[in-house]
Structure 1
Amino acid sequence: MRRPVVKPSSILSSVAVTLCVAAAATAVHAQSKTLYIGMNGGPMEKAYTSQVLPMFEQANNAKVVVVPGTSSDILAKLLANRDKPQIHVAFLDDGVMARAVSMGLCAKLDDSPVLKELYPFARMKDDVGAGVQLGMTGIAYNTKLFTQKGWSAPSSWLDFADPKYKGKVVFQSESSSTFGLHGFLALNRLWGGSEKNVEPGFTKWPNTVGPNVVEYVPNSAKISEMVQTGEAGLFPLTPTAVADLQDKGLPVAYVSPKEGPVLLLVDVCVVKHNPDPQLAQKLAQFLLSKPAQEKAAEAGKQIPTNRLATMPASMQKSLGNVESLLSKVTVVDWDAINARRPEWDKRWNQQIER
């Protein structure tokens, strides 16, 4: 029996098919990995997805998907999936981050030169997390309303207790908002209290700030609406949050209280036992870097925690000297706060917002 004749062209075609299959397999293997990052939605999510995260994705052949939510929302997700995390990296307000760390949800950050570029206070103990955005809770006010009333700009935390602002103060709930908690603690401190003693705050509030409050809101989302209607005249907020309102065309301004604002960091945490710890560590280091934080400042007015990062000129002008602001900032004791928070929340709901 004669063997069939195999033409050279057939051999070449077979080889080509084999090479194509191999190339396809290699392409599938090289497909970008997906990381999930938990952070606040709205302006922060928009800034990071539009300007910051694409830099990391292109450099690392990866896709970063934002899981939006408040810090409390993200913490709840981490707890629900602590044995098999679905989130690789999380942004949490510093108070919530302290709780996450105490629950063993965060892995130690890899030692990296970028950690030495941060403001010292931005590095958490044992590097289990680090500040990725600098915030300072101070006083925000409705400039249009103040002009109409002939009021000068506020200058002190004690202005919240000034009777002339009766019915024009909006305060975030201590039990659900870091802004509200900071404002309460700042006044409590001026009245002789501390994070370990909030009796002055709870005792004095009903006869000082309380009568001025038109509404206690669970978060700051409603404030923009209340500014437009003229209901909100004075409320605790950060420069970044005020800038977001200004971008919407609202007549608001930020004031750093003469007693000092309260430090509010947004921290980044690599979630322990996440599916890709190596790439998650790389993402965290990138987010703390000078290029990433400059993009975040440009796109979302996020104040850098990396000392080498610069801000846009307009943002720098609005804030003034950040080093000078930081010299007056109050740093709260989150361990003391979190140990007593459930009791405070109960008292706040019973005595203040009843």
Structure 2
Amino acid sequence: MGKNLLLAALMSSALATGAYAADPEVLTVGGYGGSFEIMMKKLVIPAFEKEHNVKVAYVSGNSTENLARLQAQKGAQELDVVILDDGPMYQADALGFCAPLEKTPIKDDVYDLAQFSPNAIGMGFVATGFAYSKEFFEKEGWDLPTSWEDLKDPKYEGLISVPPISNTYGLHALVMLARNAGGGEKDIDPGFAAMADEVSPNVLVFEPSSGKMSELFQNGEIAFSVWGSGRAASLANTGYKAGFIYPEEGAVALMLAGCPVVDSNVPEEAQAFIDYLLQPEIQVQLGEAMGSGPVNKKTVLPPKLAESLPYGEKISKLVNVDWDVINPLRQEWTARWAREVER
């Protein structure tokens, strides 16, 4: 009987050891909070875990916070995959935090505009253009703004909101005004002159908060704003009559982007997770959660999403800014904005 008990104990120990050895690897993903995190945890992560026999740990934070995590953990990274806005992603890649992407068939289905670098790839498109109040323009009988130059029109005095330069939407507006005046990222002076002298008098408030921007529309305080297509779609989903305009010079592409992080303990799973987010059905879920248009050309959006998001022919109306020029200058531009624009 004693031998039987010993044998049972040894078998139990062996089974426990085997179970421990079979425990799935842990893949740590850094990405946005809010509706994105909810969507990831409810829909994306459980299916990926089952398919790849891996446990996903999710670390939520905005792009600035997750970029700071990469910098703080240099040489001993906690994150295996990171999802950031395009500007911070260019920084992360330039600082050497992104590992080379594997060449896989699904990446051939991604628009050229979303092909960031050999180490990072776009996950979804958001367009920076104009969100507007349909009710206001119908009541006034005014034509809709069609150009970035319309931000200067005196009839909009006190009726516009533009996010500050600390917000990507405001930065995009500054660059487009500079380009229209013959400058651009490498010659931003014309943009500052236009924003300070011609646009600023029309601006009720330089509002960085998406929640407060929504309130400005709902309270009837502004007619239109520089904003993202996803934000406009979210506002419309509340029942407010919001529309979105792609300016004739081009709406600016603001992309969600992903990269596998260097020195990951689970590099294969990290690569697989990037590819998983590029699948057409996941691209639809990203659109529903983040208001982002698909980067995979084979994605078919439901009609309601297709109407409001960058999709199909609308992709051709998107333009990119040069983050390699902007990022080293952004702190200097932010200080200048405070002196010259929001003075």
TM-score of the two chains, using structure 1 as the length reference: 0.89
Shift of 1:96: 1.4
Q: Is this contact kept in 2: 1:47–1:300, CA < 8 A?
A: no
Residues 1:60 and 2:60 are matched in the alignment: no
- Counterparts of 2:290 and 2:315, CA distance in 1: 21
Aligned counterpart, 1:155: 146
Q: Is this contact kept in 2: 1:297–1:312, CA < 8 A?
A: no
Aligned counterpart, 2:28: 36
Shift of 1:290: 2.8
Match of 1:23 among 4, 15, 18: 15
Q: Is this contact kept in 1: 2:177–2:194, CA < 8 A?
A: no
- Counterparts of 1:143 and 1:33, CA distance in 2: 51
1:238-261 CA distance string (max 9 Å, x none): 222222222233332111112211
1:63-108 CA distance string (max 9 Å, x none): 3233222211211111111121112111111121111111111111
SS class of match (1:217)? coil
Q: Is this contact kept in 2: 1:298–1:312, CA < 8 A?
A: no
Percent identical across equivalent pairs?
Answer: 35
- Counterparts of 1:286 and 1:345, CA distance in 2: 37
Larger Rg: 1
Aligned counterpart, 1:112: 104
Residues 1:345 and 2:337 are matched in the alignment: no
Shift of 1:300: 4.4
Q: Is this contact kept in 1: 2:182–2:190, CA < 8 A?
A: yes
Aligned counterpart, 1:185: 175
- Counterparts of 2:281 and 2:16, CA distance in 1: 35
SS class of match (2:206)? strand
TM-score of the two chains, using structure 2 as the length reference: 0.92
Figure out how many residues of one structure are paired with residues of the other and give that number. 343
Q: Is this contact kept in 2: 1:39–1:91, CA < 8 A?
A: yes
- Counterparts of 1:11 and 1:196, CA distance in 2: 82
Shift of 1:123: 1.6
- Counterparts of 1:224 and 1:26, CA distance in 2: 55
Tell me the amino acid that sits aligned with residue 329 of structure 2.
R
Distance 1:211 1:133, change over 3 A: same
Give the 5 Å matches for 1:129-208. Answer: 129-174=120-165, 176-208=166-198
1:15-42 CA distance string (max 9 Å, x none): 4443333223322332333322222222
Tell me the amino acid that sits aligned with residue 277 of structure 1.
P
Q: Which runs of 5+ in 2 are unaligned?
A: none
Distance 1:319 1:98, change over 3 A: closer
Distance 1:44 1:233, change over 3 A: farther
Shift of 1:56: 0.7
Aligned counterpart, 1:267: 257
Q: Is this contact kept in 1: 2:292–2:309, CA < 8 A?
A: no
- Counterparts of 1:32 and 1:248, CA distance in 2: 41
RMSD: 2.2
- Counterparts of 2:234 and 2:309, CA distance in 1: 14
Distance 1:233 1:70, change over 3 A: farther
151-160 or 190-199: which moved more?
A: 151-160
Q: Which runs of 5+ in 1 are unaligned?
A: 1-5
Shift of 1:11: 5.5
Runs of 4+ in 1 over 6 A off after TM superposition: none
Aligned counterpart, 1:3: none
Match of 1:78 among 56, 65, 70: 70
